Structures are given as C-alpha cells and as structure tokens.
Amino acid sequence: MRLYQQAAISLAVLAVGAGAWLFLAPDGREVLARLDIIDGAPASSGPPGGFAFAGGGAVQVVTHPAETGKVNDRLTAIGDGKALQSVTLTPEQAGTVTDVKIESGEHVKKGELLIQLDQREQVLARDQAEVALQSAQRQAEVNRRIKNSISDLELYKAEIAERSAKLDLDAAELDLTRRQVTAPFDGVAGIIVVNSGDYVTTSTELMTIDDRSAILVDFAVPERFAATIKRGQPVEARPISASNRVFNGVVQAVDNRIDAASRTFTVRARIDNPDDALRAGMSFRVTMQFDGDDYTAVRPLAIQWDSSGAYIWVNADGKAEKRRVAIVQRNPDFVLVDGEVETGDEVIVEGIQRLRDGVDVRMASEAAASKQSS
C-alpha cells in the first residue's frame, strides 16, 4: 500500500473518531450544533440508561430536594483552664524556716498561717519599741500635768517623742508579721518545697495556692464570631481527659481586639467546679451554640464547575435548568450554597453528564414505570 493511501486511511479514521467523540461527549452535541452539523433541538429518544442522543427521549435523572442548612451556628474550640485565683508564695524577708504549718494539697483559709520564719530578733525589737513607747507616754503625761511650769516647746517635744515611739512600735510589729507566710485567699496548697531549717530569700518559691472553686477556660475564636459572642452566654466544656463529662459555664470576658496573625480573639469562660473535679492546667473542648445564618443545602454530587464557576442543575417542570451558585461551606453530607436555588427545588444529583439547558428530564422512578408498562 502506497504512502498516500495509508495517510488517507489514517485521516479517515481520525475524522470518524473525532466525530464520534464530539457526538458522544457531554458537550459534544452543543459543539456540533454551533457548527450547524446537527440540529440543536433536544433529543427525543435514546438507548437504555436514560441518556439523550440525537433523536432520543428525556434524560433519566435522580433528584434530591434542596434543604435548609445553617452556618456559624456552632463553635468548637480547645481551651486551657486555670484557677479562679492562683498565687505563688514567696517570703517577704529572708530567714530560716522554723515551722511549716500545713501539708501539701491541704485546703487553707484566707489569713491562715502557713510557714513561720525565725523571728527572735523581730520579737526583741518589738519589745524594745514597747518599752520606749511606755517611757515616752509617761514623760508626755507628766509634762501635760506641769505644763504651767514648763515651756510650750518642752511639752511639744514630749508629745513628738510619744508619737515617734508609737510609730517605731508599729514598724517593729509590721516587721514581725513579715516573718510569717499566710494564705491570701481560700484555696488549695500545692506541693511545699521547703522544710524546717531551710534558709529562704525573697525569691524562694515556697508553694502555690489555687482557688479552684471555679475554672477559667481561655480559648481562641475566629473573628467571624466577633459580633456574636457576648458576656453571659452559655458554654459547654468537656475535659479532654474525660470527654464523657460535660460542665456548664458562661462567658466571663471577651478580648477587645483581634490578633492580626491568627485572625482570632480570646474568650474566657467560667466553669463552676463544685465537686472539685477540675484542675488548673487541664485542656477542654469548648462548645457554643448560636442562631447562625440560613443557606440552601444541596448534595455534594450536585455541584458542577465550568469556567464561570459553580452551578447546579434543577428539574424545573420536567426541564433541566442550570443555576449559578456560590459555595458557602462544605460539609461531609451537604454543601451550603448561595444563589439561584431555594429550599424545595428538585436538584439533580445523578444523570447530569448529558444535561443542557431546556432538555427534557424525567425521574428514574418514572422511567422504570414507563418501561414496565411498555
């Protein structure tokens, strides 16, 4: 066979293949119609399987009604818990520990003595101040009785000496109280890291005290909720370590600015802890419910794409209609969209490969019934 004959046969095969592809491809009939090769009118009959070819019938499709879905109606975040009040105790003065009054993990009351430092010098200084005050008071009292026999200056000096002695006593007593470490509020003591006989300084950490009657949980919230979250709103918190337990609380505080790097802001929730089941430092899964925004929900299979963006097919009185939509949120079972679709519209989810605007469509159940009757 000559070369030109082989080339002619190859071109003929390619032409037949290209024509078959244009005829059978999803948009092939539209291309042929634009080239005036075939009539662009909808087909009237077709092969088994329900898809329309030239001269074929209605396209067999499966639809699912559009529903209503919500977005921004639920917030879930991970937060860190801390005590309602927490403090790390250090002594106000350096000295030697003479007595530890409590044990680690013990509940303490506000003002309760926890640790005693050596105070012998301070007791001596207080006693000396008391003696000096008594002497100054006696001298001032005598001068007031004989004020007619002495000058006003001598009386004034005696009264000033009395007041100075009183201030010296107050300072000695204050210095004495600084040799004691007391609880600043009701709470639970942590592990005590000193013992009797230890020398401590003002930077030595003695213990921590936590008021865990309630736990404060801080968590980050996306900025789209900035206008939604208010103080007093209910919150549910589940400890990561015990997710079967739910603790109810309220929003106690909302930060006043959005973090520019993460596009989030901080919310603080207060979780009551009446049975002392929670601890500072625990992590929580926090959940909040909102009214949210309503959007139309369609099945993921219904979403199609072209150069202009997303669209869906709708069965409008037996005719296929292409409607443009914008994707709002994707979920595993449905997609929230905004556009030319409303709740209740019959959205086509199967059989969409051969659809175009205005083509006749019928439901798969109707096609089966028609086939059985014939």
Whether 254 and 305 map to the same domain: the answer is no
Instruction: State what percent of residues in the chain have pLDDT above 70.
Output: 84
Whether 220 and 240 map to the same domain: the answer is yes
pLDDT of residue 54: 37
Cβ-based neighbour number of residue 316 at 10 Å: 13
pLDDT tens per residue across span 83-140: 999 999 999 999 999 999 999 999 999 999 999 999 999 999 999 999 999 999 999 9
* Coil, strand or helix at 168: helix
> Tokens standing for 140?
């001032």
Question: What φ, ψ does residue 285 adopt, rounded to 5°?
Answer: -100, 110
Q: Is residue 176 part of a domain?
A: yes
Q: Is residue 195 part of a domain?
A: yes
Whether 116 and 194 map to the same domain: the answer is yes
Mean pLDDT for the stretch of residues 57-67: 87
Contacts of residue 324, defined as CB under 8 A and 6 or more positions apart, other chains included, come to 308, 309, 310, 311, 339, 340
pLDDT of residue 373: 44
pLDDT tens per residue across span 311-341: 999 998 888 899 999 998 888 888 988 888 8
Whether 343 and 196 map to the same domain: the answer is no
Short-list 138, 103, 104, 124, CA closest to 172:
124
DSSP 285-321: EEEEE---EEEEEE-GGG-EEETTEEEEEEEETTEEE
Q: Is residue 50 part of a domain?
A: no
The residue with greater pLDDT, 53 or 102, is: 102
Whether 281 and 314 map to the same domain: the answer is no
Cβ-based neighbour number of residue 95 at 10 Å: 20
Spatial contact of 297 and 68, defined as CB atoms under 8 Å apart: yes
pLDDT tens per residue across span 197-242: 999 999 999 999 999 999 999 999 999 888 889 999 999 999 998 8
Q: Is residue 205 part of a domain?
A: no
What span, in angstroms and rounded, lies between the C-alpha atoms of 236 and 330?
25
Cβ-based neighbour number of residue 216 at 10 Å: 21
* Coil, strand or helix at 219: strand
Cα torsion angle, 186, 188, 190, 194, sign: positive
| Domain tally, the chain | 4
What span, in angstroms and rounded, lies between the C-alpha atoms of 350 and 312?
11
Q: Which domain holds residue 364?
A: 59-69+294-373
Residue 79 has pLDDT above 70, yes or no: yes
The stretches of the chain forming alpha helices (DSSP H) are 3-24, 28-34, 120-145, 152-177, 364-373
Last residue of a domain, one of 173, 200, 227: 200
Q: Is residue 148 part of a domain?
A: yes
What CATH number did the domain enclosing 278 receive?
2.40.30.170
Residue 51 — pLDDT band, cuts 50, 70, 90?
Answer: very low
Whether 171 and 225 map to the same domain: the answer is no
Last residue of a domain, one of 136, 169, 200: 200
DSSP 40-54: -SPP----TTS---T
Whether 162 and 219 map to the same domain: the answer is no
Whether 324 and 239 map to the same domain: the answer is no
Q: Is residue 331 part of a domain?
A: yes
Whether 120 and 196 map to the same domain: the answer is yes
Whether 216 and 237 map to the same domain: the answer is yes
The residue with greater pLDDT, 277 or 366, is: 277
The residue with greater pLDDT, 100 or 151, is: 100
Q: Is residue 47 part of a domain?
A: no
Last residue of a domain, one of 200, 232, 265: 200
Q: Is residue 161 part of a domain?
A: yes
